[in-house]
Amino acid sequence: MTPTYSPAVTEIFQRMNILRERDVVARMQPGAATASVTSPIDGAPLATLTLDSVERYEDVLARSVKAFDAWRRVPAPERGLLVRAIGEEVRKHKADLGRIVSLEVGKSISEGQGEVQETIDIADFALGLSRQLYGLTMPSERRNYRIQEQWHPLGPIGVISAFNFPNAVWAWNAMLAAVCGDSVVWKPSLLAPLTAIATNALAARVAAAAGHPDLFTIVMGPDDVIGERFIADKRLPLISATGSTRMGRRVGEVVGKRLGRSLLELGGNGAVIVDKSADLAVAIPSIVFGAAGTAGQRCTTTRRLIVHEEIVDGVCDRLVRAYKQLRIGNPLIEGNLVGPLINKRAVDGYLHAIGEAKKQGGTVLVGGEVVKPAGVDGGHYVQPCIIRAPASNVLDIAREETFAPILYVFTYKSVEQAIAMNNAVDQGLSSAIFSTDVRQTELFLSGVGSDCGIANVNAGTSGAEIGGAFGGEKDTGGGRESGSDSWKAYMRRQTNCIHYGSTVVLAQGIRFD
């Protein structure tokens, strides 16, 4: 196949003025292997891209190592100015980048734009952070000694991103890594490479104009050629990987074997608890967005609903009415709230999970079918589905993360029981409780409450803001990205002991005369 971009993609790249950028051109050069990119909206071809050979991979890594050596010498506030410039460049092209996200992932126009806004926001956050990479000073037990901690750049950072957030997840890592003094090598999902090509081209152009070429680079290829080499590469001291738990286990195994660091953002199985005191005017729309947004293809998607037994029937009735109002169709058309699943494999997983739920005694309340929206030829569209668990409250399929819009409904009697149900899965990313009882909400947030990395009160499981650290526990991997002190993952800590006296004193009272 001849490498090429479709007319629609070419037009967008022309508006962004990136058709001559290095990575954009490289994907159109003849090569031994290519990959086809099609839109989940209608199956239309978007591109045929040249994948990297081992030789090209080695060239990219060598350039990234060289870029790091120069970049780490730049003062952190100056690094922040470059990141600010990247944020401004992304802001100028927000509409086009968001459209690429929608084209190749199937997000609604609003969600595609929102993802790009996350990149703009994290660039702003990182700019401020560039003057706040604080260390500590500590008192010494020895006279005329003092102790301090400082943080240094870590090295070239490897970033593996998943298809569902092809822009923002890179930015969470890359913008922080850049102000910390690191270069970044990005390995995007082959299900969403065009967003990565465009985003990286913008960032690389800004960096090169500032005298720092190859600060942001990109590699693409199948796991057996590029993926395994990438995670085993000792030149990458940190691999930040977002994707399935299965993938994360492999990354953790290989990186751990070489004593590198891994930052893992893996699967989720978000639960929402709805107490009988809950304000349903707040709870219902939050649950619907959390469960059906991005067609259920978020790691923070609401997949389990745990409702007090006294109100469960009314809650289900309201949810069913809301689901029947969801407009499914081409996400490029304003007003369509639910777009397609990413591919046929995702549709098969959706149908399999619904079939298993029925076998296990679950009852489908709404949805559960493959659909063909009017005006769309091709694509992978399904109805967001609500399944009520049997009276036994046991539904084993709900323990698995199906990357599709399926919401399982359970009941509870006490908040302690509900919290135990929230925690009774292998994943531990996002959770929420809707209640106006402060005792219940505080218990949910306490050390014996939700075991997830994210625990919200009267707010849904999706829609994390960049200011807080994002990540989860257990099979979610334990990593933290974005806000708070997540920057520490991209730096190495150094403890310094400074002696300013004339007599040597040993710690712990040791004498060595």
Q: What is the mean pLDDT of residues 266-286?
A: 98
0.95 surpassed by pTM: yes
Which residue is it, tokens 């952190």? 76
pLDDT of residue 228: 98
Would 306 be classed as within a structural domain? yes
Same domain, 170 and 314: no
Q: Which residues, at least 6 apart from 23, have a Cβ–Cβ distance to it below 8 Å?
A: 197, 200, 201, 204, 217, 218
Rg of the Cα atoms in the chain: 24
* Amino acid occupying residue 292: A
Q: What is the mean pLDDT of residues 169-183?
A: 98
442 classed as catalytic: no
Taking Cα atoms as reference points, which of 405, 406, 204 lies closest to residue 397?
406
Q: Which residues, at least 6 apart from 203, have a Cβ–Cβ distance to it below 8 Å?
A: 86, 89, 174, 215, 216
Q: How far apart are CA 408 and CA 387, in angstroms?
A: 5
Residue ranges making up the domain that contains 354: 270-470
Q: How far apart are CA 296 and CA 293, in angstroms?
A: 6
Same domain, 459 and 488: no
Contact 246, 165 (CB under 8 A): no
Would 499 be classed as within a structural domain? no
Residue 1: is its pLDDT beyond 80?
A: no
pLDDT of residue 295: 97
Same domain, 89 and 197: yes
Which residue is it, tokens 């953002």? 265
Q: pLDDT band for position 198 (50/70/90)? A: very high
CATH number of the domain within which 375 lies: 3.40.309.10
452 classed as catalytic: no
Residue 463: is its pLDDT beyond 90?
A: no
Q: Which residues, at least 6 apart from 132, have a Cβ–Cβ distance to it below 8 Å?
A: none
Same domain, 304 and 248: no
pLDDT of residue 32: 84
Same domain, 247 and 312: no
Q: How far apart are CA 226 and CA 187, in angstroms?
A: 9
Collapsing DSSP to helix, strand or coil, 498 comes out as strand
Residue 464: is its pLDDT beyond 90?
A: no
Residue 60: is its pLDDT beyond 80?
A: yes
Residue 338 per-residue DSSP state: B
**Domains contained in the chain, number:** 2
Average pLDDT in the chain: 97
Would 508 be classed as within a structural domain? no
Same domain, 292 and 350: yes
Q: What is the mean pLDDT of residues 151-175?
A: 98
Q: What is the mean pLDDT of residues 265-279?
A: 98
Contact 57, 233 (CB under 8 A): no
Same domain, 420 and 276: yes
Contact 326, 292 (CB under 8 A): yes
- Determine how β-strand 238-242 pairs with β-strand 157-160: parallel
Contact 126, 176 (CB under 8 A): yes
Would 201 be classed as within a structural domain? yes
pLDDT of residue 359: 98
Q: What is the dihedral of CA 358, 371, 8, 201, to 10 degrees?
A: -20
pLDDT of residue 513: 81
Contact 308, 280 (CB under 8 A): no
Same domain, 174 and 301: no
Same domain, 110 and 207: yes
Residue ranges with strand state E in 208-327: 216-218, 238-242, 261-265, 270-274, 302-308
Would 505 be classed as within a structural domain? no
Same domain, 296 and 217: no
- Active-site residue identified among 299, 316, 385, 452: 299
Would 503 be classed as within a structural domain? no
Tens digit of pLDDT for each residue in 200-246?
A: 999 999 999 999 999 999 999 999 999 999 999 999 999 999 999 99
Same domain, 465 and 481: no
Residue 427: is its pLDDT beyond 90?
A: yes
Q: How far apart are CA 180 and CA 72, in angstroms?
A: 8
Q: What is the mean pLDDT of residues 285-300?
A: 97
Tens digit of pLDDT for each residue in 311-349?
A: 999 999 999 999 999 999 999 999 999 999 999 999 999
Would 510 be classed as within a structural domain? no
CATH number of the domain within which 24 lies: 3.40.605.10
Q: What is the mean pLDDT of residues 247-271?
A: 98
Q: What is the mean pLDDT of residues 273-298?
A: 98
Q: Which residues, at least 6 apart from 446, have a Cβ–Cβ distance to it below 8 Å?
A: none
- Active-site residue identified among 265, 316, 385, 452: 265
CA distances from 422 to 75, 229, 449, 459, 464 (A): 45, 38, 9, 16, 19
- Determine how β-strand 184-187 pairs with β-strand 216-218: parallel
Q: pLDDT band for position 484 (50/70/90)? A: very high
Q: What is the mean pLDDT of residues 428-454?
A: 98
Same domain, 248 and 274: no
Would 326 be classed as within a structural domain? yes
Q: How far apart are CA 124 and CA 455, in angstroms?
A: 25
